[in-house]
Structure 1
Amino acid sequence: MTMTRSLLIRRTLVYVIMICTALLTISPFLLVISTSLKTTNEINIDGPLALPHIFHWDNYSRIWDVGNFVTYYKNSVIVAVVVVAFVILLALLGAYPLAYMKFKGKGIFFLIVLWGLTVPMDLIIIPLFNNLKSMGLLNTIWALILPQIAMNIPFSIFLLRGFMRDIPYALLESARIDGSTEVKNLYYIIMPMLYPPLVSLIVFTAIGTWNNFMLPTILIQNDQLRTLPVGLNYFQTKFTMDYPMIATAAVVSALPTALAYIVFQRNILSGVMVGALKE
């Protein structure tokens, strides 16, 4: 009886702590959403923590008129799609030989890949700026695409190689005996078995590219080429005292990444765990 009561108390405490932690985590998001549905007068009179008397959904339609968010969204989508496509393609082509083929310098190539994981963007941003300037790529969409492809390749190869190494090598040998080429092996045998890590990689790369703030800030000065995070920062400086519009812009900016994580969260966790355990 005493043990049952003690277990009940411990479980209750665990649930209380978990609920309090969840509330503390989501309360800033709820506050931003609540603020986006108010007017400035409501905030000044009732305070920022009060619930809105009337939900002003027109803030979400107004944001597209007063801000250049259609252009920012378009640029972010273009950059994210191109970066993800090239990263997945190049990572597959890089991870396959490192996982299955034997050639001289294989270990050195893999060490170079691992070294790429340790290079922060802060360290190379000045040389990158000078190189892009000399090539005439500053203030172009390629100034955002090419560096992000290069920065995402090392982790992508590392993740996919770890998963590929656990796939039975006998499958490839049987396919080669039947006359299959390496390209067919990769496309018809390996890729269908890479669904969890590929989904994780796509989501990670897309979210990281979507939220990248440093590169567009430094490399892009043209408002028509700004992506969503930089556009949101520019919008905040323009509407400094209009808190509902700033909150609305923040919700609109964060919505795609939040939805992506909610939809693919199981695939993200399974892909990361698989990739970690394979190594």
Structure 2
Amino acid sequence: MPIPSRAALVEQLVRTRIAGDVATPRDNNLSHYRKLANGDRYFWLGLELGDRWRDEQDVLAVMAERCGVSDDPEHRFGQDTIDPELTVAALDRAAARLRKAADGAQRVLFATGHPGGLLDVHRQTAAALRAAGCEIVRIPSGLMADEGMVFQFADVAVQERGATLWHTHSPAPMAAILDGLEREGRPLPDLVVADHGWAGCAAQRGLDAIGYADCNDPALFLAESEGTLQVAVPLDDHVLDPRFYDPMTDYLLDAAGLL
């Protein structure tokens, strides 16, 4: 499959609803922004936001700027959007950080709380970086978090509960990995590529992190705006077919010089 041009990728993101008119409704977005502003730590995704984001209108303003949702506070129901141009711009920033990792043969850790959507995006990126000379961090064995096992599947850390790969926004699995590495006296990653609480936890601990995030999960975008997170990539994180992400991944890896 040819590498998509920027314009072709924008069209494909909109057509598959990875961006553009996404499935997440406006009232769900606003509810999550409000809960974050009210201090609900579930929505902080492992970050320490303190009192800096107590006004939900400030959260909305960042999400409009960095994700492309409507900035109209009176728009409370119906459709909301992710700007595909912002998605591609974030992919370009992520590509620059991946290139730095490849040039320095850095240690990179991949993790996902969205295995049904983003697992293969992370797997393909890990394979490309390994081929470029990076060390893909192997996580310690026997890790537990949130009543589930944390292990690695196709170079990507995931959580398993009840013999099922688990959808989780919790930072606890990433905390278990980083604590386990320290217990074993092993170096922490130079870069973490993940999503949601997995990325937020890594960034909060001072690691370079790239995170994929949906428009109803504002914490990573706030962290990027503050400089805690390297890059937050806005996208619908669980569309109808995970193969829809393949052109996006190809664009990312090509922009990083990894194809």
TM range (shorter): under 0.3
TM-score by length of 2: 0.28
Higher normalized contact order (CA 8 Å, seq sep 6+, divided by chain length)? 1
User: Larger radius of gyration, structure 1 or 2?
Assistant: 1
Task: Identify the structure with the greater strand proportion.
Answer: 2
